[in-house]
Amino acid sequence: MQLLLFGAPGVGKGTQAKLLSSKFNIPHISTGDILRQAVKDQTELGKRAQEIMNRGDLVPDDVMIGIIKYRLSKSDCNSGFILDGFPRTDKQAEELDKLLEEMNLGDLKLVNIFADEEEIVKRLNNRRACKECGHIFTLTEIIDINTCPNCGAKNSFYLREDDKEEVIRKRMEVFRQTTEPVLKYYQNKGKVISVNGLGSVEDVNQEILKVLS
Ligand SMILES: [Zn+2]
């Protein structure tokens, strides 16, 4: 099973990727992770990527594709994989298609976890983190706003930078601009499966499994 996981910031894409990865026993390939790994391993491509990133530039498509090719050629990808964070442009999507054909890795499906922007903003804005234990709660889970239900710390709740409305809206804007062309590319090929991301983690997971089967 070859999957591409797609979803706006705050929609729980990473969590779903992990669940699917253990359910189907296929690797969760996050581009951020494999890029860091390539740099750490000091592979040829890793060194090039590092140089480019040190200059503050974006890693070009050919380097990214090379790093992904290297990762997909490992034996744990034989029965499938979940890509997360790539492709980010329709050009990259084309390159990825070519690569999968070349490597005989079969067709992929894009799982689009969508949610209404206002709902995401509301959901994230209603979260509070405990600065003592790091646990994240929604306001409805907190009975006494002065006491952390997890560690008992007093007055330890705060709104994380990433959960602030203006930060969320900015990230959503970037997400829309960069990923819409990619979504269109796969839609035109009839490869998109859409799932509503607003339920609980379990509900969304069940929904994905249902549409995949
Ligand atoms: Zn706590």
CA distances from 93 to 48, 63, 71, 153 (A): 22, 14, 17, 47
Yes or no: say if 133 and 24 are a contact pair by the CB < 8 Å rule: no
Yes or no: say if 4 and 193 are a contact pair by the CB < 8 Å rule: no
Q: What is the pLDDT of residue 177?
A: 85
Average pLDDT over residues 191-212: 93
Q: Among this protein's residues, is 127 annotated catalytic?
A: yes
171 has a pLDDT exceeding 90? no
Q: Among this protein's residues, is 88 annotated catalytic?
A: yes
For residue 8, the CA-to-ligand 1 centroid distance in Å is: 28
Yes or no: say if 6 and 112 are a contact pair by the CB < 8 Å rule: yes
For residue 157, the CA-to-ligand 1 centroid distance in Å is: 8
* pTM exceeds cut of 0.75: yes
Catalytic residue chosen out of the listed positions 88, 164, 169, 191? 88
For residue 143, the CA-to-ligand 1 centroid distance in Å is: 13
Lowest-pLDDT range, 8-12, 71-75, 196-200? 8-12
Q: Can you tell me the distance from the alpha carbon of 132 to that of 135, in angstroms, rounded to the nearest whole number? A: 8
For residue 131, the CA-to-ligand 1 centroid distance in Å is: 7
**What residues does the ion ligand 1 have nearby, CB within 5 Å?**
130, 132-133, 148, 150-151, 153
Sheet holding 108-114, edge to edge: 28-30, 81-84, 2-7, 108-114, 192-196
Q: Among this protein's residues, is 55 annotated catalytic?
A: no
Q: Can you tell me the distance from the alpha carbon of 96 to that of 79, in angstroms, rounded to the nearest whole number? A: 18
* Residue 85 pLDDT level (bands cut at 50, 70, 90): confident
- pLDDT tens-digit profile of 52-78? 888 888 888 899 999 999 999 999 998
Catalytic residue chosen out of the listed positions 69, 127, 164, 169? 127
11 has a pLDDT exceeding 90? no
For residue 160, the CA-to-ligand 1 centroid distance in Å is: 14
Residue listed under structure tokens 């969590």: 15
- pLDDT tens-digit profile of 88-138? 888 999 999 999 999 998 889 999 999 888 988 988 889 999 999 999 999
80 has a pLDDT exceeding 90? yes
What SS3 state is found at 119? helix
Catalytic residue chosen out of the listed positions 109, 169, 171, 191? 171
Yes or no: say if 11 and 197 are a contact pair by the CB < 8 Å rule: yes
Q: Among this protein's residues, is 13 annotated catalytic?
A: yes
For residue 133, the CA-to-ligand 1 centroid distance in Å is: 4
Q: Hey, CA dihedral for 31, 177, 204, 201, is it positive or negative?
A: positive
Structure tokens at 206: 């069940």
Of all residues in the chain, the percent with pLDDT exceeding 70 is 100
For residue 132, the CA-to-ligand 1 centroid distance in Å is: 5
Mean predicted lDDT score pLDDT of the chain? 91
